[in-house]
Amino acid sequence: MLKGRVAKMSKLMVGNMVLGRLENNCYYLHKEGEKETIMVDPSTKADHIYESLKEKGLEIKAIFITHGHFDHMMATNELKELFGDVTIYAGRKETILLEDPKMNHSVLIGKPYVIKADVLVKDDDEISVGSMKCKVIETPGHSIGGVCFYFEEDGVLISGDTLFFESVGRTDFPTGDAGALRTSIVEKLYKLPDETEVYPGHGDATTIGHEKAYNPFCCVV
């Protein structure tokens, strides 16, 4: 690099496929012009995801699981097999759901399903995939080991089912805790810059500033 010249960062691209009976947001992230891709919470239809990304010239190198409910993970094992060199990341306290079809509710739809994460992450862990970098934020409440992924350089938060557009995740599933959820949102997520873009597991994207002002469950403005 020439002295005095600042390297231009590639833009983080956030794509989305809405899949499954619960209309899950299945995000795929990559830097503009690069093929290394992070897949988030692949809910179902592994073949469709594979073909769609291949058409775009993208290669999944990592799968991020925000939490262990069936609708956020039931294409994980198949995508790992299809793409080959893929690392699965999930919260360190979430194995109780990931590895038990009763706890993750996959038995309720007649398709028992489990996954085993390659890397179990904790608060403040940093993950690098290609030129993408993010920090792990543990956000228990919707489930005991739920996590969000914060791409600080890009102002992007993947919030799973912790924080939605003017709503929050339900807490009546196994290991859910309403008090813990509010604490996770107010004391962790709301500390991020107001302009941070929030991409939830269901529904529309939002921002931290909007939720602080208008979320009826966790309004702090």
* 154 part of a folded domain: yes
Can you tell me which residue has the tokens 């496929």? 17
Can you give the pLDDT at residue 218? 82
Domain that holds residue 162: 12-214
Within a domain: residue 140?
A: yes
94: how many CB neighbours lie within 10 A of its CB?
A: 27
Mean pLDDT by 10 residues, the chain (221 residues): 44 96 97 97 97 98 98 97 97 97 95 97 98 98 98 98 97 96 97 98 97 90 66
For residue 7, what pLDDT is reported? 42
User: Is residue 4 in some structural domain?
Assistant: no
Torsion sign across C-alpha atoms 98, 88, 50, 156: positive
Q: Is residue 136 part of a domain?
A: yes
DSSP three-state, residue 109: helix
- What is the predicted pLDDT for the residue at 111? 96
The token duo for 99 is 């590895």
**Number of independent structural domains in the chain:** 1
Strand-pair partners of 37? 60
Single-letter residue type at 106: S
- In angstroms, how far is CA 150 from the centroid of its own chain? 9
Encoding tokens for residue 61? 């190198």
What CATH number should be reported for the domain holding residue 134?
Answer: 3.60.15.10
Q: Express the helix, strand and coil content of the chain in percent, nearest 5 each.
A: 25, 30, 45
How far apart, in whole angstroms, are the C-alpha atoms of residue 162 and residue 184?
Answer: 8
Q: For residues 16-47, b (16+ Cβ closer than 10 Å) or e, as one string?
A: ebebbeeebbbbbbbbeeeebbbbbbbbbbbe
- pLDDT the model gives residue 216: 93
Beta partners for 175?
A: none
pLDDT at residue number 220? 77
Cross-strand bridge partners of residue 38: 29, 62
The verdict on residue 127 lying in a domain is yes
- Whether residue 7 lies inside any domain: the answer is no
Rounded to 5 degrees, what are φ and ψ at 100?
Answer: -135, 110
Euclidean distance between CA atoms 116 and 133, whole angstroms: 23
- Residue for token pair 């529309």: 204
**2 found inside a domain:** no
Q: Which helix (DSSP H) or strand (DSSP E) does residue 52 occupy?
A: helix 46-55
In a domain, 220, yes or no: no
